[in-house]
A = this chain, B = another copy of it.
Amino acid sequence: MPGEHSSKQYDMDLETIRSKVLAMGGLVESQFQDALSCFRTGNIAQAEQVIKSDEGVNNLEVSLDDACSHLIVKRQPAANDLRTVMATIKVITDLERIGDESTKIARAAKSITERGVTTINHYETIRVMSISASNMLRDALDAFARLDGKQAIKLIAQDEVVDFEFRSIMRTLITFMMEDPRTISGALDTLWVAKAIERIGDHAKNIAEYVIYIVEGKDIRHTDYAATQLEDRTSN
């Protein structure tokens, strides 16, 4: 039977992993901000830096997955403790995907700048949406750091805002393209960037769902649990 000693060891090992996952979160957050920044400024060197930094994120994914496996084998956690490890493994996957999406934004920024496309103010089109998604990511990492279920529930509702903004961007870009077919190629680049930002919002929402799974023990994926909770809490 695992005694207090083993359980303390487990807690310590888990805390080490969690702090590394948070460092990974900080890394992909910078990646995302830098990608948006070079999409705004057309700084190719910065775009290349973002693309290059993805290797570090990928390595973190592999080594953290490995650390989680080791933790399970060595400490054989009980059901409650295992839940945290499982959710952490899923969070790691989402963080890696956020890195991928940021890389796509950086690639689009590079491509637009190199082709000298200037017919649309690309950044202005996605500005509001990128702020919403950035806030979601920051809040998701914050909720994961503090295991704050309330904050997680709040931010899940934000995903609808980002989706709404995405559809609005799409309509704007279609109008541009129809008015002046020369803008089509540049508008599509912007559309892919908007799509990448929308997906980063999705991943932030996933992370929030895993936080709720850790804190409340409820698997709320594919349910409207967060919306119901939010209604209950705001109506009180």
- Which chain A residues (78-100) contact chain B, with CB distance < 8 Å? 78-79, 82-83, 86, 89-90, 93
How many monomers of this protein are in the complex? 2
Whole-angstrom distance between the Cβ of A195 and the nearest chain B Cβ: 8
- The distance in angstroms between the C-alpha atoms of A79 and B70, with both chains bound, is 7
Whole-angstrom distance between the Cβ of A164 and the nearest chain B Cβ: 16
Contact of A62 among B58, B73, B78, B219 (CB under 8 A): B219
- Which chain A residues (8-32) contact chain B, with CB distance < 8 Å? none
How many chain A residues sit at the interface, stated as a range, is 35 or more
- The distance in angstroms between the C-alpha atoms of A83 and B55, with both chains bound, is 23
Contact between chains at B79 and A73 (CB < 8 Å): yes
Q: A90-B93, A93-B90 are in contact. Are A66 and B174 (CB under 8 A)?
A: no
Residue A181 at the B interface, CB < 8 A? yes
Contacts of A58 in B (CB 8 A): 221-222
Shortest Cβ distance from A54 into B: residue: B222
Whole-angstrom distance between the Cβ of A155 and the nearest chain B Cβ: 20
Q: A69-B82, A79-B69, A82-B72 are in contact. Are A61 and B221 (CB under 8 A)?
A: yes
How does the 8 Å CB contact mask read for A44-60 relative to B, with 1 for contact and 0 for none?
00000000000100110
Interface centre among A65, A70, A170, A191 (most CB of B within 10 A): A65
Residue A229 at the B interface, CB < 8 A? no
